[in-house]
Structures are given as structure tokens and as C-alpha cells.
């Protein structure tokens, strides 16, 4: 499995790509007719991403804490979180209920973006001007363990990870900033529609992309609580028959006690 990182686009490139999914159309063979055709790419990655967010939340209470409101040291934080994801890697690899490949049929490339967006309003389609943070490559098809390893090594490797800061209210993105104690609280992506078999079909038919929203350790609990409030609001809108953005990854089986 190959693993690579990519840098930010220039200001001019971001300006040209500000329209939602402006750069996605050439990749998407599912868009014209999501209910039929031979180019369906069925999403299989949700159990893996759910496992990552759940492990991140469950480990929070025992995570190293800073003093007097400060963040924990990078060394202590990295050692603890790298260990959490190493244990998760073994658990995911041996879990028969988690599909081995992230898509069906398998794809050779899978992209991940890491973003810090403190505002609740967001849509991954509006971040098309941001290049992927990591690109996972596997000629036999990118697997669940490729994804867990890629996220672990990016967030909890030797250097602090570069995370894009997104100011949703101002409608702009900044360059990447190093986040010493990054924790993923939400995973999101663009879904096309259900297939004829009732499966979720990826918007991208060649290289799927997911967005992972991070916060520093000291703001993680607040970020999770905000996401839970947003989820409740979406539930109310859906109950009233109002249109809402689909955020499949927030369907947690149960609430996690953050301590």
C-alpha cells in the first residue's frame, strides 16, 4: 500500500474551484444515472470510519491532559493515540463484520482530507478546492487496514499533522496549520444515491474522497457535543419532512460517554 501527502492549492486555483464539486464532475460516472449502469461504486468504508471515531471518543477520558488548560505535550499525546490506533488496527483487521475493502468493487486510490472547521455549517462538496491530505494507493484495492494505518501515521506520526482551517462563516479556507493534538470527531463525504439494491453509491467512481473533521484535544469534547446537538436538529427537520443534508457518518449506534 502506497501512502502519500499533498499540499494546498494556490489562491488562484482555489478561486477557480470554489463552486461545489467543480473539480469532481470528470471523475463521477455515477452522477448521470445513479440507479443503473455498470460504474457503480458501492460505499463500504462506513464501518471502518465509525470504528475510528468511536475508538477516538472512547479513549478520550484516559487521554493525556495538559495543565492549567494547556494542551498535552505532543510526545505524550502521540504515544497514547498511536497506541490506540494500533490496537484499533488489529481489531478492525480481525472483525468479519467490517468489509475488507473500502468499496465494491475495490478501487486502487482513496483520498482523505483533514479539516478544522469550528462552525456547524459544512458540506464536503464545498471543499473541492482543497487537495487531499493523504492518498492511499493499493493495486489490489484499498482496504480497511490501509485506511486505519494511513490515518494513524498521518495524525500520530513524528510530525504534527497539517490540517486545513475552514472559516465557514467567512466562506474561505486558509492554508494548513499544524495541529499538535488532532482528534477526529466527524467523518463526512458526498453520496450519490441508493442503488437498486438499496446500497449507498459513491459520488466518485474512480477515487472516493472523505473529509475528516478534527479539533485539538482541549476542544474535542465541545466539538462532539456540538455535533450531537446538530444531529438532534437534523432529526427534528427530518421528522417535519424538511430537507436536510445527509450526514451518514453521524449515525452512531449509541452515545459515547466523554467522561
Domain count, the chain: 1
| Residue 256 belongs to a domain | no
- C-alpha 208/C-alpha 111 separation (Å) is 6
Domain that holds residue 186: 2-250
Phi, psi of 212 (to 5 degrees): -110, 120
Q: Which residues of 221-251 are buried (b: 16+ CB within 10 A; e: fewer)?
A: bebbebbeebeeebeeeeeeeeeeeebebbe
Spatial distance between the Cα atoms of 232 and 183, rounded to a whole number of angstroms: 22
Confidence (pLDDT) at 131: 81
Does residue 89 form part of some domain? yes
Is residue 255 in a domain? no
Q: How many whole angstroms separate alpha carbon 108 and alpha carbon 207?
A: 8
In tens digits, the chain (259 residues) has pLDDT values of 665 554 433 333 333 232 233 333 333 444 444 444 445 789 999 999 999 999 999 999 898 886 656 788 899 999 999 999 999 999 999 999 999 999 999 999 999 999 886 555 567 777 767 788 999 999 999 999 999 999 999 999 999 999 988 766 555 556 677 899 999 998 989 888 776 677 888 888 789 999 999 989 888 888 888 877 776 766 665 566 555 444 443 343 444 455 5
Q: Would residue 91 count as lying in a domain?
A: yes
What does the pLDDT read at residue 4? Answer: 58
In a domain, 159, yes or no: yes
209 in helix, strand or coil? strand
Is 131 a member of any domain? yes
pLDDT value of position 135: 96
**Residue 59: Cβ-neighbour burial (10 angstroms; 0-12, 13-18, 19+):** middle
Residue 7 lies in a domain: yes
Positions of E strands within the chain: 2-5, 42-43, 103-104, 109-116, 134-137, 162-167, 172-178, 182-188, 191-194, 200-202, 209-216
Q: pTM to 2 decimals?
A: 0.76
CA dihedral (176, 177, 182, 184) positive or negative: negative
* Dihedrals phi, psi of 34, to nearest 5 degrees: -70, -15
Amino acid at each position: 500500500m502506497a501512502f502519500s501527502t499533498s499540499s494546498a492549492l494556490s489562491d488562484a486555483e482555489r478561486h477557480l474551484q470554489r463552486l461545489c464539486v467543480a473539480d469532481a464532475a470528470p471523475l463521477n460516472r455515477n452522477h448521470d444515472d445513479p440507479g443503473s449502469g455498470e460504474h457503480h461504486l458501492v460505499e463500504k468504508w462506513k464501518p471502518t470510519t465509525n470504528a475510528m471515531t468511536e475508538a477516538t471518543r472512547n479513549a478520550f477520558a484516559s487521554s493525556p491532559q495538559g495543565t492549567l488548560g494547556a494542551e498535552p505535550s505532543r510526545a505524550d499525546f502521540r504515544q497514547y493515540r498511536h497506541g490506540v490506533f494500533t490496537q484499533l488496527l488489529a481489531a478492525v483487521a480481525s472483525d468479519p463484520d467490517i468489509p475488507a475493502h473500502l468499496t465494491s468493487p475495490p478501487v486502487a486510490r482513496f483520498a482523505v482530507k483533514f479539516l478544522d472547521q469550528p462552525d456547524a455549517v459544512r458540506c464536503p462538496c464545498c471543499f473541492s478546492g482543497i487537495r487531499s491530505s493523504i492518498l492511499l494507493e493499493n493495486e489490489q484495492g484499498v482496504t480497511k487496514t490501509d485506511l486505519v494505518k494511513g490515518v494513524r501515521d498521518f495524525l500520530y506520526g513524528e510530525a504534527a499533522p497539517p490540517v486545513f482551517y475552514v472559516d465557514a462563516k467567512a466562506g474561505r479556507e486558509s492554508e494548513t496549520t499544524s495541529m499538535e493534538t488532532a482528534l477526529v470527531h466527524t467523518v463526512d463525504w458526498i453520496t450519490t444515491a441508493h442503488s437498486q439494491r438499496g446500497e449507498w453509491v459513491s459520488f466518485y467512481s474512480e477515487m472516493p474522497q472523505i473529509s475528516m473533521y478534527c479539533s485539538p484535544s482541549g476542544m474535542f469534547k465541545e466539538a462532539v457535543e456540538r455535533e450531537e446537538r446538530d444531529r438532534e436538529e437534523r432529526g427534528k427537520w427530518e421528522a417535519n419532512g424538511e430537507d436536510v443534508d445527509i450526514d451518514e457518518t453521524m449515525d452512531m449506534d449509541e452515545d459515547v460517554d466523554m467522561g
